[in-house]
Amino acid sequence: MRKSRARRVRTTRVPPVFSEFAGDKQFATTLARGLEILRCFTPEAPTLGNKDLASKTGLPKPTISRFTYTLSRLGYLRADRISSKYQLGAAVLSIGYPVLATNVLRQVARSAMRELADYAGGSVSMGVRDRLNIVYVETSRSSAKPSRQLSDIGLSQPIAATAIGRAYLAALTPAEREALLNEIRVKTPADFERYHRRMLQSIGEFERLGFCTSYGDLRREVHAVGAPLRLPSGELVVFNCALLAFQLKPGQIKSEIGPRLVSMVRSLATA
């Protein structure tokens, strides 16, 4: 009599970055892996090889090779034949453009943002949440004092370390805020430890002044103020005004730039 063999249950290993989706039968891990590869490319690391991507994602190198080959064939990655490394391809822009083109508030806010940027001599940006970051969907820079050190569209900044991120945090309900703080603590413990006190201080700052500040927390040379706007749809959008520290007079962020940013945001709420 033959012994019955135990039926093997096929399981899909979920990388640590997707651990929160473990057990979710609707979650397409293969698709998520491919998208996560694209997220590895940053202004600080614009060119990456398969070995780099394997290290960043925790995926096996053969798996990475298949993904990078496919993404290259589709135009989402561009291969450098000399270095055998990759950069983001033009197809990535074609995906992102509809997000910008259909954002009505971005178009409405542009004039007011430019006016404040020119007045302050810095940059004014509008952002939305992306995981534990705020990504800029619109930016206006001072025409009189343009600086490459300030913001641009597509820039992604950590919620914990920035005025624009803390403004987002401060505008949440207590339950939403607690959930986000816990997510930051679990996923980016170093950021949580470093910025936890400043995040809590920013909540009180927002309640008193209507805006949050950052004095070189992320980049020593940049000081900024942030303020939120809750849309009728319920979506939370945030704005900031960032300046190089040497441009500012003592107390100018709180006494002048912050109130002007809040005034701009309030005008957009009724536009």
- Kindly give the pairing relationship between strand 156-158 and strand 133-141: antiparallel
- Kindly give the pairing relationship between strand 123-130 and strand 133-141: antiparallel
Report which DSSP code applies to 151. -
Name the packing angle between helices 29-39 and 61-73 (round to 10°): 80
> Which CATH number describes the domain made up of 16-93?
1.10.10.10
Rounded distance between C-alpha atoms, residue 266 and residue 164, angstroms = 16
Provide the total of helices (H) and of strands (E) in the chain, helices listed first. 10, 8
List C-alpha distances in Å: 257 to 51, 127, 137, 199.
Answer: 45, 18, 21, 20
Cα-based angle 136, 139, 140 (whole degrees, multiple of 5): 170
Residue 32 one-letter amino acid: A
Superfamily of domain 103-269: GAF domain (3.30.450.40)
Q: By C-alpha distance, which of 99, 218, 90 is closest to 153?
A: 99
List, by residue range, all CATH 3.30.450.40 domains of the chain: 103-269
DSSP E strand stretches across 51-180? 77-80, 85-88, 123-130, 133-141, 156-158
- Going residue by residue through the chain, which has 271 residues, state the pLDDT in tens, using 9 for 90 and above: 444 444 443 444 545 567 788 889 999 999 999 999 999 999 999 999 999 999 999 999 999 999 999 999 999 999 988 889 999 999 999 999 999 999 999 999 999 999 999 999 999 999 999 999 999 999 999 988 767 667 789 999 999 999 999 999 999 999 999 999 999 999 999 999 999 999 999 999 999 999 999 999 999 999 999 999 999 999 999 999 999 999 999 999 999 999 999 999 999 998 7
